[in-house]
A and B are shown apart, each in its own frame.
Chain A
Amino acid sequence: MIGRRTGQVVLMLAGLLAWAVQFTIIYGATSTLCGLDRADATLLGIGNVQAVVLATTLAAFLAAAGALAWLLWAQKRTSDQAAPADRFMTQAGALIGGFSLIAILWQGLPALILPACA
């Protein structure tokens, strides 16, 4: 079973983790599809690479947004008597989650504007 503290740290870093996973998948998928010459194929009218990037970005955004919502809800619930470490982790997690949402969107943007394998 995961300890309470471990769970808290994971939740605090949830936004960054979602961003890291998105980064790895979209970079890996783009290079692989371009390397295999599969980038020209389309899926429901959008390019392969764009489809992967959009789906990954959406998933990462929803994951980070879910974690952020949970943290904000937890923050409201936290009483003034809570341990300083707990309060800090909830607040830091909310801040990190907010930034991660923006980072995830920024990272997905090039796929919509630039050609996949230029």
Chain B
Amino acid sequence: MDLEATRQGPAGRLRTAMARAAVVACALSLMGCDGVQSALDPAGGDALRIYRLTLVMTIGGSLIFLLVTGLLLYAIFAAPERRVWLGSRRTVIIGGLAFPIVVLSGLLPYGLIVMRDTDVPRSGALPVEVIGEQYWWRVKYPAEQERAEFSTANELVVPVGRPVTVSVTAADVIHSFWIPNFGGKVDMIPGRVNRLNFTAERPGTYRGVCAEFCGDQHARMAFDVVALEPDAFAAWRDEQANPAREPDLPDRARGRELFRAGGCGSCHVVRGTEADGAFGPDLTHVGSRRTIGAGQFPNNVGTLAGWIANTQHIKPGVRMPSYGSFTGEDLRALAGYLESLK
């Protein structure tokens, strides 16, 4: 038996397996690159600038790392007479002084120019106010010309092509507002208003997250970002400014009565009804939102009912108590009413 072959065999197989694993790992990590919440899939000019900066830094850093590692191995393993130049004064001055100074002198203005061109306020921008609360997002569209002000929650709808200025603050603790596809993060600090400017250049649905630990349910504090064509945005805006629609089915009317009798209106607004609580999210058009619970579930009767009955099970620590005392039938009526508030 060929001893050499048996020794090489497992090592060779191990190498092949490692190479395959590396390919799979690369493919898996790249799969995460495009998507609704990815800084590697920019959908606006600001995000694109940040993405390019990331590429330059990552690729440049990797190349320099490989170069230094190569030189290190060369210094360790090369024959002494071949590696002697590595210790010369000239190598130290070029590699240790001149090279970093030249690289950093290039990167510094580049980084500053990216900073200058990103997040620039533009005239004619759509103003939006977002307030971070434990653990959801209050979104206000201030009145603009003849269009009335209205509030929504956990959903930022923006027109494609028109700059947006988001003024952010927080109601309780520090949160951070981040839509990776559109730009950088900005802290939401109680008592202070920070601003973020971006322009969506591609229609679609994206996702924003809280990027500053804000309590138990920080990880479940997301919001949908929907970029619509200008016409569709105008239509959405008009619709949102309307008061809540009247229940069109007896079951939904019963749901509205349960909403009233259950005291939901002491925390939630439903414009057009007596519900005017300002503590929780505005529910006037809750049925039109894509998700509930700050991005936790798709929005439908089932998840709405589950949420009402079980908030403390789904997101322990949220301000809304679980309303587990509703019967199944009542819960269906109540959730059906909310779902009809398109």
What is A's interface to B at a CB cutoff of 8 Å? Answer: 102, 106, 109-110, 113-115
Contact = CB atoms under 8 A, between A and B. Distances in A.
A109 B105 CA distance: 10
B101 A114 contact: no
B109 A114 contact: no
A109 B108 contact: yes
Interface of B: 101, 104-105, 108-109, 112-113, 115-116
A109 B109 contact: yes
A110 B105 contact: no
B112 A114 contact: yes
Contacts of B104: 106
18 contacts: A102-B101, A102-B105, A106-B104, A106-B105, A106-B108, A109-B108, A109-B109, A109-B112, A110-B112, A113-B109, A113-B112, A113-B113, A113-B115, A113-B116, A114-B112, A114-B115, A114-B116, A115-B116
Contacts of B112: 109-110, 113-114
Nearest 4 pairs between A and B by C-beta? A113-B112, A114-B116, A113-B116, A110-B112
A6 B184 CA distance: 49
B96 to A, nearest CB: 12
Contacts of A110: 112
A110 B116 CA distance: 10
Could you say which of A109, A110, A113, A114 has the most chain B C-beta atoms within 10 Å of its C-beta?
A113
Nearest to A105: B105
Contacts of B109: 109, 113
Nearest to B115: A114
Nearest to B113: A113
Nearest to B104: A106
Contacts of B116: 113-115
A68 B101 CA distance: 18
A33 B9 CA distance: 72
A113 B104 CA distance: 16
A114 B101 CA distance: 21
A18 B251 CA distance: 78
Contacts of A113: 109, 112-113, 115-116
Contacts of B101: 102
A113 B101 CA distance: 19
A20 B115 CA distance: 25
Given A102-B101, A106-B105, A113-B113, 15 more contacts: A102-B105, A106-B104, A106-B108, A109-B108, A109-B109, A109-B112, A110-B112, A113-B109, A113-B112, A113-B115, A113-B116, A114-B112, A114-B115, A114-B116, A115-B116
